Chains A and B, each alone.
Chain A
């Protein structure tokens, strides 16, 4: 198992370099000089332009800039934002818990609903339940997030008044963040009603963000279940007279879950991409919204740092998923 872990860790290093290279150069390929963008119609004179270029390090050859950046990254320094002048890593760490909280809720929502729906559809293959769940999941999968989110807000928040429109907690509550996770911080604050306010603010963003992964997981679970249910050992188990529920839950589901876990791992990337839209719509102070704003302002250090951290995260999650295969299926961990 340890050897397997090291092998997988070894794969990460070149990927990490690749990401820094891609991020650094791709951003610079996007048209738009950050200094001119900041200056707008007002413009900036040649002398001041040169001063600013020197300040941001743009007067150096691009290779030197990249090298400087890389050296910084390995020392844990992602640079300072052009806009706020604050260290990128500090800003990332402030905002990251909000994204993680939302992503965890989103994936929980997706798995808790997606897997049972998939199983149900597989068992009742060809019947109305199957058609219903599958067409619902197709709808969920095809729905643009921003549209779905607005629809949820208009229906549940504005028309019915059940949930708040946006934000992480009612603005009337005010306490210093301890962990950065609002559900935990609101409990720690001891303020009456804070936790329920945090929960109510999480509902719509969770649904908006979790819908697509849920649809994907449901479809994957269904097809994987169908494949497994057709295997001989299932027929044997049934022939032995095992209770149908035991056959499905123990014999079939465990094996069917392997490809599903892969998909769940892949959905983490999808979730983070979805978080960009979800966070913008629900005014969720996370890294998705932060990166979008940085893009609009051509704030290179923030974009680079943000994307690098996200890439790192996706790699880490995929590593964990690979390790989980080993737990679920011992054959994988021994493969060379």
Chain B
């Protein structure tokens, strides 16, 4: 019996070995990426999940402007250049010529990319009467979330290779929005063909883009296959085939990486990091994430209306202990409300020192020599910027107890937590943010601007000086001027202390040694154009 079992097992092993080596031509380079989940679909404007963007916008499509790989810097994409009118209300994009769309089973393009494709892409999301607006559920959460419907007044085709966006108000971050996933340009010709065939939803299922890879097949929850697009306008990708092997369990992803069943994996289990670092076959890449985890004070509620109280509580928090105990080293202390990977990050800001004695003295000065009683709201979920809010709350609770502040930890189910903190029921609360477009406005205005009170500004912070700076920065498109304004805004933020900035998490990505020139994307995406495999 036993001998038989070993025979069977050995046989199976041999089968497996032959199976892996079997079919592909020796010359084709195939990169296998063990992705963490299934995409919701293949039209990035309909969805908000990074997993979906990885499978669609980041491989199959292009945008008018794009982020330079591995950075938050904006570079030309399908537009070769753009002009902004003096009043900041008109953005005119000059489109690239000779850009080809993919040819698929359903569709053979008869023309190159032009202004009609741009108009189709944005009008579908913007115009509720557009024939495609309601197709595939018709919810464009990112387009709405970035306030595009309020911002855009009109989209005009000037000629075949010029498109003009007319805005209702000057908004400098608009250009960064155009580089976001939802702004991926679809083929108008394909859309027309599918509408005629009576299958408009095919546009969202079988994507036709201009990107470096084209979709070959998606087997639900199992495998996504792409092949390099030979006519790609930036030149054909170095690899020939790209395969996403969907592997939801992080430990299993690592086992697959070790066994050579995939080359790149996202989101490693923190417990495996040490082993990965020591693994000779694996190159463990890391970078600070485009996020911030913070503890906010409800600045409309006593005693947090007084900046001195907020400052004192900040000084009582032992950040190093949190980085060690909660992030387990995969985080770096935050002093600004924006992460260091974003331009205009102010390195001159001085963080509040950890000094319980000084904190106690400042609290006494503010009129609370015996401390007070409050609450700490802790999120019930793990987020990229905060792996364990409950544990963090406990550490802060102990830190504050040392200066006489007794805090009770409060938690609700995630949806309710977000809703109640929006309404301002909390004293202090934990939350964080992951950047969408790499623009400082996306953190500073969204989370701390007066318009955000009652929405994403849960600290209900509305400071005239700060507000003026960020509003001014919205209306000028001069990057140097904007940088200066944001740097100053960060100093005001630090002085007023509406938050205790806790940490920026560190993103880890293990890749096998044979992978050449893979770069961590600051937006958390996984991009394979520009990546090669060593022979």
Contact = CB atoms under 8 A, between A and B. Distances in A.
A162 interface: yes
Contact of A172 (B12, B22, B46): B22
Contacts of B37: 293
Given A55-B139, A192-B22, A283-B249, A43 B13 contact: no
A79 interface: no
A283 B261 CA distance: 13
Contacts of A293: 37-38, 248
A203 B10 CA distance: 12
Contacts of B248: 280, 283, 289, 293
B255 A170 contact: no
Interface in A205-238: none
B141 interface: yes
B217 A174 contact: yes
Contacts of B413: 31-32
B278 interface: no
B362 to A, nearest CB: 31
Contacts of B256: 165-166
A80 B138 CA distance: 13
A85 B12 CA distance: 40
B145 A42 contact: yes
A103 interface: no
B220 A285 contact: yes
A20 B90 CA distance: 55
A109 to B, nearest CB: 12
B432 interface: yes
Given A95-B220, A164-B261, A172-B24, A200 B15 contact: yes
A41 B418 contact: yes
A199 B11 CA distance: 11
B40 A193 contact: no
B414 A153 contact: no
B418 A40 contact: yes
Contacts of B258: 158
Interface stretch (B92-100, B239-247, B472-480, B524-532): B239-247
Contacts of B216: 174
Nearest to B30: A172
B32 interface: yes
B259 A165 contact: yes
B197 interface: no
A43 B17 CA distance: 49
Contacts of A255: none
A91 interface: yes
B414 A283 contact: no
Nearest to B9: A162
Contacts, number: 178
Interface in A31-48: 31-33, 36-45, 48
Contacts of B249: 280-281, 283
Interface in A75-117: 80, 83-85, 91, 94-95
Interface string A181-213: 000000000011110110111010000000000
A282 B221 contact: no
B198 interface: no
A79 to B, nearest CB: 12
B12 A163 contact: yes
A160 interface: yes
Given A43-B422, A84-B40, A196 B222 contact: no
Interface string B162-184: 00000000000000000000000
A317 B30 CA distance: 43
Contacts of B255: 153-154, 157-158, 165-166
Given A43-B456, A157-B255, A283-B246, A197 B16 contact: yes
Interface string B129-153: 0000000110101001100000000
A161 B259 contact: yes
Contacts of B15: 193, 196-197, 199-200
A148 to B, nearest CB: 13
Contacts of B247: 166-167, 283
Interface string A23-63: 00000000111001111111111001000100100000000
Contacts of A40: 48, 418
B4 interface: no
A289 B23 contact: no
B18 A165 contact: no
Interface string B22-41: 11100000101000011011
Nearest to A34: B415
Given A31-B416, A153-B255, A158-B255, A164 B225 contact: no
Nearest to B135: A85
Instruction: Tell which of A40, A169, A285 has the most Cβ of chain B within 10 Å.
Output: A40
A230 B416 CA distance: 62
Contacts of A200: 12-13, 15-16, 19
Interface in A231-270: none
A280 B253 CA distance: 11
A16 interface: no
B245 A167 contact: yes
Contacts of B46: 85
Contacts of A289: 221, 248
B18 A283 contact: no
Contacts of A166: 245, 247, 252, 255-256, 261
Nearest to B416: A31
B486 interface: no
Contact of B222 (A42, A44, A283): A283
Interface in B154-207: 201
A166 B35 CA distance: 13
Nearest to B249: A281
A286 B38 CA distance: 12
A283 B33 CA distance: 14
Nearest to A299: B40
A48 B434 CA distance: 22
Contacts of B431: 41
B20 interface: yes
Contacts of A201: 16
Contact of A164 (B20, B41, B419): B20
B515 interface: no
Contacts of A17: none
Interface string B215-251: 0110111110100000000000000000101111101
Interface of B: 9-10, 12-13, 15-20, 22-24, 30, 32, 37-38, 40-41, 46, 48, 136-137, 139, 141, 144-145, 201, 216-217, 219-223, 225, 243, 245-249, 251-252, 255-256, 258-259, 261, 413-416, 418-419, 422, 431-434, 455-456
Shortest Cβ-Cβ A-B pairs, 10 listed: A162-B13, A197-B19, A31-B413, A36-B415, A196-B15, A285-B221, A200-B16, A285-B222, A193-B22, A85-B137
Interface of A: 31-33, 36-45, 48, 52, 55, 80, 83-85, 91, 94-95, 150, 153-154, 156-158, 160-174, 176-177, 191-194, 196-197, 199-201, 203, 280-283, 285-286, 289-290, 293
8 contacts: A153-B252, A161-B13, A161-B259, A169-B19, A203-B9, A285-B220, A286-B221, A289-B248
Given A161-B17, A164-B259, 6 more contacts: A33-B419, A36-B419, A43-B456, A85-B46, A162-B12, A196-B18
